[in-house]
Amino acid sequence: MTTFNVHKHRSDFPLLNETAYGKPLVYFDNAATSQKPAVVIQSLVDYYTHYNANIHRGVHFLSQKASAAFDDVRVKVRDFIHAATEQEIIFVRGTTEAINLVASTYGRQHVNKGDEVLISAMEHHSNIVPWQMLCEEKGATLKVIPMNDKGELLLDQLDALLTDKVKIVSLVHISNSLGTINPVKEVIRKAHAKGIPVLVDGAQSTAHMSIDVQELDADFFAFSGHKILGPTGVGCLYGKLALLEQMPPYQGGGEMIHSVSFEKTSYNEVPYKFEAGTPNIADVIALGAAIDYWNTIDRTAAAKWEEDLLHYATEKLKSIQGVRLIGTAKEKASVVSFIIEGVNALDAGMYLDTKGVAVRTGHHCTEPVMTRLGIPGTLRASFMFYNTKEEIDVFAEQLAKAVSFLQPAIAG
Amino acid sequence: MNSIAEIEQEIIADFELFEGWEEKYQYIIEIGQKLPPLDDKYKTEDYKIKGCQSSVWLHGEEREGRLFFSADSDSTFVKGEIALLMNVLSGQKAEDILNAPLSFIDAIGLRQHVAVTRANGLAAMIKQMKTYALAVSTVQR
């Protein structure tokens, strides 16, 4: 049996020792952003202290050092998500930009009037709005794979939805508001049987499971650095090389060109074709440090620990009067979303905040999910491998107090 | 009736008695629980101010040159904020409401807890109260 030493890992994260209003911090907003290990923070300091320079053009020492460090990260990301070649890794600002990039390039190229784009009922706004904008521009239609009350996709309807009109499927791997782990591999297989490419929104999944884009056979895979122990402002788009090579560029500018004249510009090769302008050098390098850190973790043991946390928290929540879990899919990541009878989610979230417990309240940028379930929003506690059962005890104890403090308000 | 500035000073003095955010939060919840209910006929879309995480229904009416507000929310904390705002603004002259700096919000440490989160409609609520005041003062002129 593998044991997971959570306290050893906790000590790598300086912020976890902070207090909020003088109380020990309990950080359960990991689905929004993860905390960073000291090695990631240090990598930013090292870059700016010792080798800050623009990359890929300077002949000097610093530029060569920075360029090498930057290029190394593309290889690290390749291995991290098991891509075939580092050319398939495009650096972007985050998942949102990655999806926008595909919608603006592949989408504009292939989606035409009367066509369809297929997403699911549990998408983040980032995987709805870019496609909506594309459909509006092209006169195409956005179609949705529905879900049941537990937050599971109704895959028996998938075959009927995968019509000849569908030009791309874009699907969330793990729902940020429900925790549902979607069977993306099965969806990809069915879509491919009809010759339709699939984008997987991996914003949540990358932190909780080992990703193998080739095994999934995903055509595109998007994730954000800041949710996987890295800095904000950097993320990656994976795309199959054959697709990327056929796609038009995203933005114009430096780096993405081969040669420029006033008559005609020829574009650089993949992936540089999609990376106009000076890239986010420092944060890409820090993302590399985050991946190095992941490589020191036993991912299987970490996943098992998170599963323990999920079950522990679920049982604790069930014992609190009035709590109703939202998102009870069979396959679930370490996220608990819930509402409380007679208690406003915002009020309860603010109560927990006064006790040093950081959760999230609201619709979590998935308004259609809340509309589908007929609720205005939820409280959400999302766990990372560095969270503990003791923290869940504090959370549950304070939540029970919040309920008794706030409930008379409604009754009166 | 005391002036807006006087009432704001009273609120600031009250809040100085609290130890920290926890006590302030509890106080705001308590006054929210005591907010008089809004007449159901005003709890419609016409009177609704939609915030990111909570909704507010606000109604204002003018009597003898003064504006009186009544309001409700699905959040008790937001009702507490409404109670504070009504204490300061309700019953005041339209022109005074328009010119009220409402610096007590910053002074009692409330802004940092609500403004950054877009979590509730405090700013939208103030804007709507001032819109009522503008409408009344325009008619008066």
B118 touches chain A (CB under 8 A): no
A398 touches chain B (CB under 8 A): no
Q: How many CA atoms lie within 13 A of A291 on its CB side?
A: 26
Q: What pLDDT, on a 0 to 100 scale, did the predictor assign at position B113?
A: 75
CB pairs under 8 A between A and B: 49
Q: Name residues whose C-beta falls within 8 Å of residue A314's C-beta, 6 or more positions apart in sequence.
A: A325, A336
**Contact check, Cβ <8 Å, A346/B113:** no
Q: Name residues whose C-beta falls within 8 Å of residue B66's C-beta, 6 or more positions apart in sequence.
A: B91, B92, B93, B94
Q: B117 pLDDT band (50/70/90 cuts)?
A: low
Helix count and strand count (H, E) for chain A:
16, 17
Name the active-site residue from A297, A365, A370, A400. Answer: A365
Q: What pLDDT, on a 0 to 100 scale, did the predictor assign at position B119?
A: 52
**Contact check, Cβ <8 Å, B21/A345:** no
The amino acid occupying position B49 is I
Q: A320 pLDDT band (50/70/90 cuts)?
A: very high
Kindly list the distances between the CA atom of residue B9 and the CA atoms of A90, A103, A360, B70, B92, in Å, as whole numbers in the listed order: 56, 54, 34, 22, 16
Instruction: Count Cβ atoms within 10 A of the Cβ of residue A75 and give its class: 0-12 exposed, 13-18 middle, 19 or more buried.
Output: middle
Does residue A154 come out as left (phi exceeding 0), alpha (psi in the -120 to 50 range) or beta? beta
Q: A409 pLDDT band (50/70/90 cuts)?
A: very low
Q: How far apart are CA B15 and CA B88, in angstroms?
A: 15
Q: B136 pLDDT band (50/70/90 cuts)?
A: confident
B25 touches chain A (CB under 8 A): yes
Using one digit for the tens of pLDDT, what is the confidence trace for A160-198? Answer: 999 999 999 999 999 999 999 999 999 999 999 999 999
Residues of A in contact with B75 (CB under 8 A): 344, 346-347
Paired strand residues for A324? A339
Using one digit for the tens of pLDDT, what is the confidence trace for A91-131? Answer: 999 999 999 999 999 999 999 999 999 999 999 999 999 99
Nearest to B54 among A21, A346, A351 (CB): A346
The first and second tokens of residue B73, run together, are 């929310």
Cβ pair A36, A290 in contact under 8 A: yes
Q: What is the pTM of this model?
A: 0.93
The amino acid occupying position B79 is K
pLDDT surpassing 60 at residue A410: no
**Contact check, Cβ <8 Å, A344/B26:** no
> Considering only alpha carbons, which residue of chain B is nearest residue A354?
B22
The amino acid occupying position B83 is A
For residue A289, report the phi and psi dihedrals to the nearest 5 degrees: -65, -35
Q: Name residues whose C-beta falls within 8 Å of residue A28's C-beta, 6 or more positions apart in sequence.
A: A357, A358, A359, A381, A382, A383, A387, A391, A395
Q: What pLDDT, on a 0 to 100 scale, did the predictor assign at position A169?
A: 98
Report the complex ipTM. 0.90
A23, A351, A353, A354, best to mutate vs chain B, most B CBs in 10 Å: A354
Percent of chain A with pLDDT over 70: 98
**Contact check, Cβ <8 Å, B54/A409:** no
- Angstroms from A21 CA to nearest CA on chain B: 7
Using one digit for the tens of pLDDT, what is the confidence trace for A10-34? Answer: 999 999 999 999 999 999 999 999 9
B113 touches chain A (CB under 8 A): yes
Residues of B in contact with A355 (CB under 8 A): 22
Residues of B in contact with A361 (CB under 8 A): 53, 119
Using one digit for the tens of pLDDT, what is the confidence trace for A252-292? Answer: 988 888 888 888 888 889 999 999 999 999 999 999 999 99
In DSSP notation, A180-217 reads BB--HHHHHHHHHHTT--EEEE-TTHHHHS---HHHHT
Paired strand residues for A257? A267
Q: Each residue of A83-121: b (16+ CB within 10 Å) or e?
A: beebbbbbbbbbbbbbbbbbbbbbbeeebeeebbbbbbb
What are the residue numbers of the active site of B?
52
Nearest to A21 among B22, B52, B120 (CB): B22
Kindly list the distances between the CA atom of residue A385 and the CA atoms of A29, A35, B79, in Å, as whole numbers in the listed order: 13, 11, 38
Nearest to B119 among A22, A346, A412 (CB): A346
Cβ pair A184, A202 in contact under 8 A: no
The first and second tokens of residue A278, run together, are 């000076």
